[in-house]
Chains A and B, each alone.
Chain A
């Protein structure tokens, strides 16, 4: 153990690896609930440093876990198996901005919002905008294939990543993808994005930059029932409009946010929708009219169109402060993430509320309604005896309801540890076997972020049931 730390310190620098109780406690979990234990934490400053840390971990027969800012909510960065935790936050340089070709090369520790700040003077931005964008890293976004409100029209992280330099689990390096549109062979870049650190660690990332839209309109729609708001979401999509963002907040969260930031949300609304439309001015105006008319046909009480950038920013501040506002209601919360077809929103939301009532819990909903990405938020006080069992039971029931409605386990947070054992709800043994094979191809050693994403025994033949001569 002492050798491990000193080997890392020798390779990376004396301040770049530590195994003191403070670090081991700080890095024992991400923003999710699962807690683990790191053997040692290190902060390489370069790709070579990451490769060295991986090789040292392997030499000491340790797994390794990559970590950005630790804002993930599914335990993807929780250290399991006494690993070396490799933190990328010291690799935080924007290396190159190629404005004419709308590409930036960045190190993995660059914060999501810092990337957009670095290019905004050029009329460009980096499209994926998770709610944690002030704190989360681009490398972490790559690992989780992160989303955000504005991914509705523009797509999640994978559609914005062109190329990746990666350190694989054996310490070797590779470039996956490229700036050229296609490469012969399989889309290894596409396989790596969203693999939650189980295929290696990205050390340099080429992302696509998006041009700022010439026109942006932000609307706040106000409803007397959640059903009407949800039906409006389905109606907007069914009318052939894919807004830049389409967010929903129910009554308790709207009140909490209003009390917290004073964004001018109606405190008596049963639900509000925040709709952003962008693009060329003609299309935006047509869509503003169409969205307003869909909303009115579903009994919207008011349609407020932000008059200027300041009002737009205020409306968004409300949405983005939602999680801060919750602290005013209860000390703890559990945030879920699942997706349902947009035509099923009304029905699934009703089930979510019913499940909460059944488990005597308070649930709030603030979510990316436009792509059917639900984020039911259970608020509670962890000091209450037996509360965790109820929170987990309700969470499982909500997830089941989403999958039963033709939905999926996660829309943007990832599987990590949190939903690993729910994977069989969605995937057959053959499906899981295929995923396990892909992972094993990238990391035959199983040392990269072990025990995440796939439940034990996913690979057919891992158990003893494979007959002789069969595929092992």
Chain B
């Protein structure tokens, strides 16, 4: 699919319909491409609503782009690459939509260099629980005008509002991109490199992503004794999870994860570990390992009998106040973020 730039007004009728639908419905379920449907609990029920699709403004000379939230990430990538630019959202699934990726909030494998998803979002527009359009943030690359609603929306799993439009930062594509590998320990490799893009480690092999000017990429690869190689394989399987630990704890997870019988790939320096298992018990064991090292594991796929997070929500009371402030009737994606349903809490308080 290709996209022609059309003004913001082009999606206004569709957004107005979404507002009316939210106003009339008892509860709504924002839907992207359903590629991350197992993150959080499945929504209880509600009217399924989809954000519009479209390229609304691409200011390549300003390195900013505004898109309708239902636009697939891959479509945006194509538009940006034609101008030699990118936005490193890096979803695992080709079909994922921008709104879906941001609402789920899971950053891509290049986070070590390019930072988390939230750093790329400048402005959001969403339909709130009352059916009104709300704008947060602003279209410029630097902005501290008012409260940071974009960061509230990223990772909120559709429980604050239905994202309809976002403005993102873009960056120039590097002139050279390369996967390299080594048997050396990931920490050793990291110390030898200046701001590598990604260091992925499965306990045996370290895969390093280098991006930049050709001379630098080659020099870095030589300095750290890296060999050009195939990209790493992300763990696959019916049951998948994503561990978050303090980055310094990653090496210590190795033996536990191996014992748990899962396949895993760690983002070194970030603290994310991708885990896959053939049976639920192994995934549950990996979760125990994460907890033992002060972290937690998000269920990403399968394992429907497991709790989605495996830990109590940190600062649940404050989170619930935020949720209740935006959605007092629990209309937006009920049940998806368990523990944050405002209705029972209101009764008990």
A440 an interface residue at 8 Å Cβ cutoff? yes
Q: Are B216 and A342 in contact (CB under 8 A)?
A: no
Q: Are A144 and B135 in contact (CB under 8 A)?
A: no
Instruction: Give the distance to chain A from B215, nearest Cβ to Cβ, in Å.
Output: 3
Given A182-B272, A434-B128: A415 in contact with B146 (beta carbons within 8 A): yes
Residues 229-267 (chain A) with a chain B CB within 8 angstroms: 234, 237-238, 240-242
In the assembly, what is the distance between CA of A433 and CA of B134, in Å? 9
By beta carbon, the residue of chain A nearest B106 is: A182
A409 an interface residue at 8 Å Cβ cutoff? yes
Residues 24-73 (chain B) with a chain A CB within 8 angstroms: 59-64
Q: Are B136 and A431 in contact (CB under 8 A)?
A: yes
Contact of A343 among B62, B144, B324, B328 (CB under 8 A): B62
Residues 127-170 (chain B) with a chain A CB within 8 angstroms: 128-130, 132-136, 138-149, 151-152, 154-156, 160
Q: Are B147 and A186 in contact (CB under 8 A)?
A: no
Contact of A342 among B61, B143, B267 (CB under 8 A): B61
In the assembly, what is the distance between CA of A431 and CA of B325, in Å? 14
By beta carbon, the residue of chain B nearest A192 is: B148
By beta carbon, the residue of chain A nearest B242 is: A182
In the assembly, what is the distance between CA of A173 and CA of B66, in Å? 38
The count of residues in chain A whose C-beta lies closer than 8 Å to any C-beta of chain B is 86
In the assembly, what is the distance between CA of A434 and CA of B148, in Å? 11
Q: Are A414 and B194 in contact (CB under 8 A)?
A: no
Given A174-B318, A180-B246, A186-B322: A242 in contact with B146 (beta carbons within 8 A): no
Q: Which residues does chain B contribute within 8 Å of A343, judged by CB atoms?
A: 59, 61-62
Q: Are A438 and B219 in contact (CB under 8 A)?
A: no
B314 an interface residue at 8 Å Cβ cutoff? yes
Residue-wise, chain A 321-350 has the 8 Å CB interface mask toward B (1 for contact) of: 000000000000000000111110000000
A279 an interface residue at 8 Å Cβ cutoff? yes
A29 an interface residue at 8 Å Cβ cutoff? no
A282 an interface residue at 8 Å Cβ cutoff? yes
Q: Are B248 and A185 in contact (CB under 8 A)?
A: no
Q: Which residues does chain B contribute within 8 Å of A155, judged by CB atoms?
A: 115, 119
Given A179-B271, A237-B61: A101 in contact with B325 (beta carbons within 8 A): no
> What are 14 A-B residue pairs whose CB atoms fall within 8 Å in the complex?
A100-B248, A144-B144, A156-B144, A176-B315, A179-B247, A183-B296, A191-B148, A194-B147, A280-B219, A343-B59, A423-B146, A434-B134, A437-B325, A441-B318
The 6 closest A-B pairs by CB, nearest first: A190-B151, A282-B215, A240-B172, A238-B61, A280-B216, A408-B138
Which positions in A face B, CB cutoff 8 Å? 98, 100-101, 144-145, 147, 151, 155-156, 158-159, 168, 174-176, 178-188, 190-191, 193-195, 211, 213-214, 234, 237-238, 240-242, 279-283, 286, 339-343, 368, 371-373, 406-415, 419, 423, 426-428, 430-435, 437-442, 444, 453-454, 471
